[in-house]
Amino acid sequence: MSLDSKKVMRMLERYPLAFQLTHWITAVTIVVLLILIETRDLFASDDLRHQMLIWHMELGVLVVLLFLLRLIQRPFFRVIEAPDIPIPQSKRLSHAVHVVLYLLLLLAPLVGLLAKQMRGDDVPFFGFILPVFISDDVGLPYAKTTKNIHEYLGNWLMYVAMLHICAAFVHQWFFKDRLLLRMLPRFLTKEK
């Protein structure tokens, strides 16, 4: 195989930049919103804690929008099949983790949005107030349960995301199959 054909094969093994950016913006957004909600009780200021909750909600809505963008992008980009590794059913496990991760990316923020609206609270999104999907007169008896479900889904999103990250590192450094490089923009890697 010539040098040029090797370079072409490496290019074909990478996701397009638009897909990579959506992936990493989603990842950073999730990390930030988890940090906001997990650390807000460490601060004494009620105003700061309230602002951190607002940022958490805004970023949750952003995660839903990024999820929808990923769905729109998906038909336009070839999904790169996971490399073969010596673990039975590894491709099925990978697919299952991705399905669960996608479901949690959608459900955790939507359930959180419903929980806030069931209490009669507005859900802000960078200067706008989202339309009310369920009023507090209907949802108030279920608001606490819905909030608990949101927290449960949020915890599971964190666990599944950590599993996803660990699997990427195992692929990259143990199996040395360049899996992680496929989702990194070319300018961040040594490859040309």
Check whether 177 has a pLDDT greater than 90. Answer: no
State mean pLDDT over 151-162: 97
pTM score, whole prediction: 0.86
- Looking at the chain, list the stretches that DSSP marks H as alpha helix, in order from N- to C-terminal side: 3-12, 17-39, 46-73, 90-118, 136-139, 143-169
Instruction: Give Cα separations from 167 to 28, 77, 182, 189 (angstroms).
Output: 18, 22, 14, 19
Summarize pLDDT for 63-93 with one digit per residue, the tens: 999 999 999 998 887 777 777 777 888 888 8
State mean pLDDT over 109-130: 95
Q: What pLDDT does 86 receive?
A: 79
Domain 3-78+88-188, CATH 1.25.40 — does that match? no
Region of residue 16 (left: phi > 0; alpha: psi -120 to 50; beta: else): beta
Check whether 147 has a pLDDT greater than 60. Answer: yes
Check whether 161 has a pLDDT greater than 90. Answer: yes
- The domain segmentation of the chain, as residue ranges, is 3-78+88-188
Specify the length of the chain in residues. Answer: 192
Cα–chain-centroid distance for residue 43?
Answer: 26
State mean pLDDT over 123-127: 95
Quickly state the pLDDT bin for 148 (edges 50, 70, 90): very high
